Structure 1
Amino acid sequence: MTTENTNRQPTHRLYSVKGEGKNSRWIEIGAAWANRDGEGFSIKLDVVPMDGHIVMRAPKTKDGGQQ
């Protein structure tokens, strides 16, 4: 594993999601970088959720669109 991702912005954010629907709570727990070969991701977790439910999403811009 290399540290080459430290100079690039993450391509995705990782969240722990508690609950469902409008009552759900999303907590950002880490980030992911797409591998250069397009075959996967390098993931950095700041915390690991106890329930094991992790959602990976592309970050949105301030106007609500995808980056």
Structure 2
Amino acid sequence: MTDTTTKSRPSHRLFNVTGGGENARWTDIGVAWSTKDGKGFTLALNAIPVNGRIVMRINEDKPTANKKGS
């Protein structure tokens, strides 16, 4: 098994997606880290979906609101 450092910030977020289009429901179900060799991922799941699909997205910083005076 390939070692990975899980103390660092996860590189990806995992979502369970049900439905489609504007009616799609995205539920956050876990995170993922790239393995040291870059050939796979280590997953940490909070839930395992029975239906729908799992989508893995790059873990980007959320935009911060502009503060007055900055």
What is the TM-score of this pair, normalised by structure 1? 0.81
Q: Which residue of 2 aligns with 1:37?
A: 37
Larger Rg: 2
Q: Segments of 4+ in structure 1 off by > 6 A?
A: none
Q: Does 1:15 align with 2:15?
A: yes
Residues 3/61 of structure 1: CA separation in 2 closer, same or farther (3 Å cut) = closer
- Higher helix residue share: 1
Q: Which residue of 2 aligns with 1:49?
A: 49
Residues 12-42 of structure 1 show CA distances to partners (whole Å, capped at 9, x for unaligned) of 0000001101110100000000011110100
Over the aligned positions, Cα root-mean-square deviation in angstroms equals 2.0
Gaps of 5+ in 2: 64-70
Q: How many residue pairs end up in the alignment?
A: 63
Distance in 2 between residues matched to 1:13 and 1:3, nearest whole Å: 16
What amino acid is aligned across from residue 4 of structure 1 in structure 2?
A: T
Structure 1 position 59, deviation (Å): 1.6
Question: Quick one: percent identity of the two aligned structures?
Answer: 45
Q: Which residue of 2 aligns with 1:4?
A: 5
